Structure 1
């Protein structure tokens, strides 16, 4: 009888939590790091709950990871989280993500220096003065991996203390196995990437319910769903699915062709797969909105897919060789010619030959994915502004009933699944980038440009930080500024296209993001 009782208790707990979320009486209950004795000294880019919600990890521009724990001795404060450890990670640039590896005392961090580091920490105390442990990278760093060739943006955990995934701006997703060692300084000694794409990656997400699937997105109009299972390769190929390393690209997620900004490079800044149902996927578009998709939905018909081909998203080395017309569009008839230009001039230079081979590979990859079945969004969530920084996106609620995103106006937005606005809250003095819900409690943390982390939870009275009464004004201002950014981006595109037309030996990059 124990198992049925546990199930009933879990369902009752979820119902109670859902009622608290529906009431929307959330307010700021604590600010972590506003005490001068501890906290971050730069933007906070990384938030992650660890040890089943017992700990909160934060990381940012000051290149430290700080570990926060609720202090049970501070009974006179609500949600009294205090800093128990500060890790000087040794990274040379901003930390973008930090995760506690399951079943271990290890924390993985990734940063703008292209490095992946693993730090080993001891037991985190529950009492004593804040910041009881000041740890250096010499004390904690047990692995320093330099397999990526660009800034590393995201970590995705696996159900293992030894394995985890990372995504970087070099267009690769890598699986790291801490049980096998190698020297990244030796050319070719790093294991091959799990997958490689021809554009910069900003985000990587997976669901514990479907660990064999992962979603990647970045400098492209589409998010891509990959399946790591290798059975039925030929059958999959007949359905238009494309193999990439040890994975298959089985679906694309994207908007309809009529909504694409065909004059400029698209950019997806955040993604999230639902941990509660395993099939819903969120994508946050720069200068646009948040969209929700489902892996269970039928893809678009093949005929209409032809008009929704992915936009070009190439590295700087690609653009040096790629001809454009006055509108900056690529002509499919020029692709083969592009790869043939000046081959004889490069024949005696090994480095140039390798670049040409890489270029051909990237073109082939791009063309292949245009045939992968496309899934259109179920709902659009608008009102927030995603222009100035890289915004993440997340689900909230015990059953992922809500969608949340930060905004450039210092607020964060919460919507119901039907797209209706559920709440707006002030979360930062400048910009909210990250929202991370507690795994069990009606509690979530937010961070952004400020050096502090804000905690939000239900309160008995009115919310001091709710901006819902000003929703129409806030959303109208955000829409105006997003439209203005898209127009500015288009003008930049037109100018660089003109330069490309009058310059015969080089091509300007169009529509720079962030």
Structure 2
């Protein structure tokens, strides 16, 4: 079957930024070149803060508000108090939303141009709250939230059939996307009422495997999960679905136009490592894509690159317009000692962790859209360890000039996007760092993970207490050794327990709560 693919070079002209905006971005980019250090810990006060792992961070209102959410099933709203002149970063918890989720919250976001906050969790639900002006009030302790949060809930969406992992907002106070391990991405429109589980709209897209990562830019949507590929969908490609009209199960309302895959992706046999934990599209240029692979590194792709055709003789053939990923180690190691760094890079660029002779690879599933052309990566960022938990990935900087990822060793890594060289390694958690979110206007980065707190990092002129660049070589070697020792599938015990808790309450909920009619 022949498909016509979009011309990614045919883009609408972007208006030139103002001189003030250009100056602000230059100043921000210059400041981020400095060494960073921890400048604030949010949630270490007994009156407020989380009581479990912090899985989600989101800067809202152009950075005026920071949302955090996690295993305690609350969303906490942090805001800087301009009247506090005794603290350089006077963030205070203004509101705690007791969401009512029955399992861990994985992601949260404030919908643009509104005071609505959406949450997704392991109980398969999407919940929406309208906090009004509560986020502007004085700090409120965690035991005084019942009145303001009970009346803030506006929607409970039960369209997904498995754990819901990510939210992607749009330029609308009413529409947003969610991705779930049921293999679907759904677009929710709060203006359109429906009865969940009986009259839910068709999913925007549906794949044949679990999904856990979602990123959007303009018309494009990247999804990834339990597969060696990330999938790019063009939401302008819609129309009749003949399978759906014939009574067969449809694969969504939009079209997959590209796949993103590593050079060492294997065909014919598939191990548990073929899993993508995080995806991000550049908000600055709209065409760069980051994918973070479990038990491997972070890969940078571009939708502007020429794809391979599925009939290519070798799956490791690189795009003709740029150098091979295997040619990057010299640049990637420029910030460290050449001898040790080259050794690390050579090891890191080997194919992902091999199974022991006794271990048998998982059965190869039906691959989604195998005829869609594959784009190979421009660069690989190595050093962090992504095995024990689900790591997100992100761009940092006013021009997305940095790439960042958490690590199982409690650090987060920052690389220069253009060269792959290591810009910094910082201790962000006592155990594991999962989420890093940069402030949209200030040189400020929020970090969270297994700890019950949120750490803020910023450039400093003094010596950095939490920088680990002096021992970066040993950290990277240790991460590689720990990664290669893993020969059994990763088990996320925290989310597994949450899933069991949620499933045990299904029968109770069916007898006590009718399907939600979304107003």
Which interval holds the TM-score relative to the shorter structure? 0.7 to 0.9
Partner secondary structure for residue 434 of structure 1: strand
Question: 1 CA distance for matches of 2:203 and 2:268?
Answer: 31
Q: TM-score, length-normalised on structure 2? A: 0.77
Compared CA separation, residues 258 and 119, structure 1 to 2 (3 A): closer
Task: Give a deviation string over 1:229-264, Cα, whole Å, max 9, x none.
Answer: 137999xxxxxxxx9422110000011246679441
Question: 2 CA distance for matches of 1:329 and 1:427?
Answer: 34
Compared CA separation, residues 120 and 433, structure 1 to 2 (3 A): same
Give matches, 1:268-417, under 5 Å: 268-304=276-312, 363=366, 366=367, 369-417=369-417
Partner secondary structure for residue 178 of structure 2: strand
Q: In the alignment, what sits opposite 1:134?
A: 145
Give 1:282 shift: 0.3
Aligned equivalent of 2:41, options 31, 36, 41: 31
Give matches, 1:17-416, under 5 Å: 17-23=28-34, 25-124=35-134, 126=136, 128-131=138-141, 134-135=145-146, 137-185=149-197, 187=198, 189-207=199-217, 211-230=218-237, 244-257=251-264, 262-265=269-272, 266-304=274-312, 363=366, 366=367, 369-416=369-416
- Unaligned 5+ segments in structure 1 are 235-242, 309-325, 332-361, 491-514
Question: 1 CA distance for matches of 2:430 and 2:391?
Answer: 16
Give 1:302 shift: 3.8
Question: 2 CA distance for matches of 1:233 and 1:143?
Answer: 30
Give 1:127 shift: 6.3
Compared CA separation, residues 305 and 253, structure 1 to 2 (3 A): farther
Query: Which structure carries more helix by proportion?
Result: 1
Partner secondary structure for residue 18 of structure 2: helix
Q: Check conservation: 2:384, 2:408, Cα contact below 8 A.
A: yes
Q: Check conservation: 2:239, 2:253, Cα contact below 8 A.
A: no
Give 1:74 shift: 1.3
Question: 2 CA distance for matches of 1:328 and 1:479?
Answer: 21
Q: Check conservation: 2:95, 2:139, Cα contact below 8 A.
A: no
Q: In the alignment, what sits opposite 2:468?
A: 467
Question: 2 CA distance for matches of 1:296 and 1:122?
Answer: 42
Aligned residues: 423
Q: In the alignment, what sits opposite 1:439?
A: 440
Partner secondary structure for residue 224 of structure 2: strand
Q: TM-score, length-normalised on structure 1? A: 0.78
Compared CA separation, residues 422 and 166, structure 1 to 2 (3 A): same
Question: 1 CA distance for matches of 2:168 and 2:26?
Answer: 29
Question: 2 CA distance for matches of 1:128 and 1:92?
Answer: 28
Question: 2 CA distance for matches of 1:414 and 1:261?
Answer: 35
Q: Check conservation: 1:280, 1:293, Cα contact below 8 A.
A: yes
- Unaligned 5+ segments in structure 2 are 1-14, 242-249, 317-358, 491-519
Q: In the alignment, what sits opposite 1:319?
A: none
Give 1:484 shift: 1.1
Partner secondary structure for residue 21 of structure 2: helix
